Amino acid sequence: MRGKEEPGRDSVPLHQEIENELAERIRSGELVAGRKLPPELKLADEFQVSRTTIRHALISLESKGLVERIHGRGTFVADKTGKKRERSGEERSIYAIVPHLTSSFTGTIIMGAQEELYAKGYHLSVLPTNDDPQKEMDYLRIILESRAGGVLLQPTKSEYYNPVVTELIQQGIPLVMMGRYYRFVNCSYVDGHNYQGAYDAIAYLVGLGHEKIGLVTKKPLIHTSLEDRIQGYRDAMADHGLAILPQTLLMDLADSRNVYWDSASATYEQEIVNRLVDYLEAAPEMTAVFALNDRIAGDLIKAAKHCGRVVGRDLSIVGFDNVSLSESLDPPLTTIDAPTFAVGKRAAEILLDHMANEQSEPTKEHLPMHLVIRDSCGPNPRE
């Protein structure tokens, strides 16, 4: 094929030429049902195009029922022809776009969605962005052009809303956000009740006699989850008549790590702990800290030990999300359990409803969160 991205004959987009060529191979029997297609890189080399162009062609083929993309296994020729799918319109592909695939958080959301969709006879393709806003935008544009059946989206971290989301909504493609959402975009979403979870965490600490309760978080950016947790903390402190001391707040922890998988060097990890040591030493009167995710809470435990404070006795720490690492910390972490599996399942239910009822109104739900009490909290030692 021609140079990298030049248009095809009669101004046909290059990805469409590749799609047509692969579709012809499938219909002619050259590629039989169940056969695995070559990897994207190999196809890119064969057609002399970019991997993005190949991915665009494959997503379009999948939306027409000619191939099935199975995460971790590859792309396979589907058993049913595209014509049958186009006639029925009932087995259209569904995509989940997520920042990362992990077993402890996002992976569990996907498991919940997959269970619901599989039970209803639908296939889910998962597209991780690795927290790259541009990649998220590219995926959404491909889905927009291929007219996919529906989209589950866990937005990537960014300072701005992705503008293609609005285009998707305007074009009538069913969309449900999960685990995060855009507060000022009118679309369906399912998330845990972050505000309630944070409020309950502070109420628990107050019940143990703590009054000087700190907060540690990264910058929220456009993350509604962090914004809601911060507001839950503020309101709980106010409702219990407690002042928030400036030195007990760390609102801009510079932490570029992904929360739920190891992605940083030991040196970088130590820099985070050192910053938290400075924070603790600047507020010796503080007897409890609320960390807005479990990873920060784990680093706070390390920092407290460096300061000579015994977590669960001299200093109480509460985390958030109840990911797998929280139970293995020393001491095991008291935290707020995020209903990740239920979020994914409910998001899939809402998406299927939107696909069946095009005129349905957006559904916005916050699922309840629960406090998990372990050993990282104790009574106020100064009472």
Q: Is residue 329 part of a domain?
A: yes
Three-state SS for the chain is CCCCCCCCHHHCCHHHHHHHHHHHHHHHCCCCCCCECCCHHHHHHHHCCCHHHHHHHHHHHHHCCCEEEECCCEEEECCCCHHHHHHHCCCCCEEEEECCCCCCCHHHHHHHHHHHHHHCCCCEEEEECCCCHHHHHHHHHHHHHHCCCEEEECCCCCCCCCHHHHHHHHCCCCEEEECCCCCCCCCEEEEECHHHHHHHHHHHHHHCCCCCEEEECCCCCCCHHHHHHHHHHHHHHHHCCCCCCHHHEECCCCCCCCCCCCCCCHHHHHHHHHHHHHHHHHCCCCCEEEECCHHHHHHHHHHHHHCCCCECCCEEEECCECCCHHHHCCCCCEEEECCHHHHHHHHHHHHHHHHHCCCCCCCEEEECCEEECCCCCCCCCCC
Domain of residue 247: give its range. 194-338
Which structure tokens are listed for 381?
Answer: 């030692």
What tens-digit pLDDT sequence spans the chain (383 residues)?
A: 444 444 444 567 898 999 999 999 988 888 888 788 888 888 999 999 998 899 888 888 888 888 887 655 678 888 754 433 343 343 468 999 999 876 578 999 999 999 999 998 898 999 999 889 999 999 999 888 877 889 999 999 888 899 999 999 988 899 999 999 999 999 999 999 999 999 999 999 999 999 999 999 988 877 789 999 999 999 999 999 999 999 999 998 876 565 545 566 788 889 999 999 999 999 999 999 999 999 999 999 999 999 999 999 999 999 999 988 899 999 999 999 999 999 999 999 999 999 988 778 999 999 999 999 999 999 999 87
**Given 28, 56, 90, which residue is the final one in a domain?**
90
Residues 331 and 203 in one domain: yes
Q: Is residue 332 part of a domain?
A: yes
What domain count does the chain have?
2
Q: Is residue 350 part of a domain?
A: no
Letter string b/e over residues 279-294, b meaning 16 or more CB atoms within 10 A of that residue's CB: bbeebeebbbbbbbbb
pLDDT of residue 83: 39
Report how far residue 371's alpha carbon sits from residue 336's, in angstroms, rounded to the nearest whole number. Answer: 5
Q: Is residue 381 part of a domain?
A: no
**Given 90, 120, 145, which residue is the final one in a domain?**
90
Q: Is the peptide bond before 99 cis (omega within 30 degrees of 0)?
A: no
Report how far residue 176's alpha carbon sits from residue 186's, in angstroms, rounded to the nearest whole number. Answer: 11
**Given 66, 90, 114, which residue is the final one in a domain?**
90
pLDDT of residue 247: 97
Distance of CA 282 to the CA centre of its chain: 34
Q: What burial class does residue 25 get, using C-beta atoms within 10 Å of its C-beta: 0-12 exposed, 13-18 middle, 19+ buried? A: middle
pTM value is 0.77
Residues 317 and 199 in one domain: yes
The residue whose two tokens read 């990740």 is 340
Residues 202 and 86 in one domain: no
By the 8 A CB rule, do 94 and 123 touch?
yes
Report how far residue 312's alpha carbon sits from residue 314's, in angstroms, rounded to the nearest whole number. Answer: 6
* Interacting residues of 102 by C-beta distance below 8 A, sequence separation 6+: 258, 260, 261
What are the CA-CA distances from residue 328 to residues 15, 199, 265 (Å)?
48, 25, 20
Q: Which of 303, 284, 293 is nearest to 381 (CA)?
A: 284
Domain CATH number, residue 239: 3.40.50.2300
Q: Is residue 366 part of a domain?
A: no
Residues 202 and 331 in one domain: yes
Q: Is residue 139 part of a domain?
A: no
Strand-strand pairing, 74-77 and 67-70: antiparallel
Q: Is residue 334 part of a domain?
A: yes
Report how far residue 51's alpha carbon sits from residue 113's, in angstroms, rounded to the nearest whole number. Answer: 28
By the 8 A CB rule, do 336 and 200 touch?
yes
Q: Is residue 125 part of a domain?
A: no
Residues 78 and 209 in one domain: no
Domain CATH number, residue 85: 1.10.10.10
Q: What burial class does residue 34 get, using C-beta atoms within 10 Å of its C-beta: 0-12 exposed, 13-18 middle, 19+ buried? A: exposed
Residues 200 and 83 in one domain: no
Residues 212 and 326 in one domain: yes
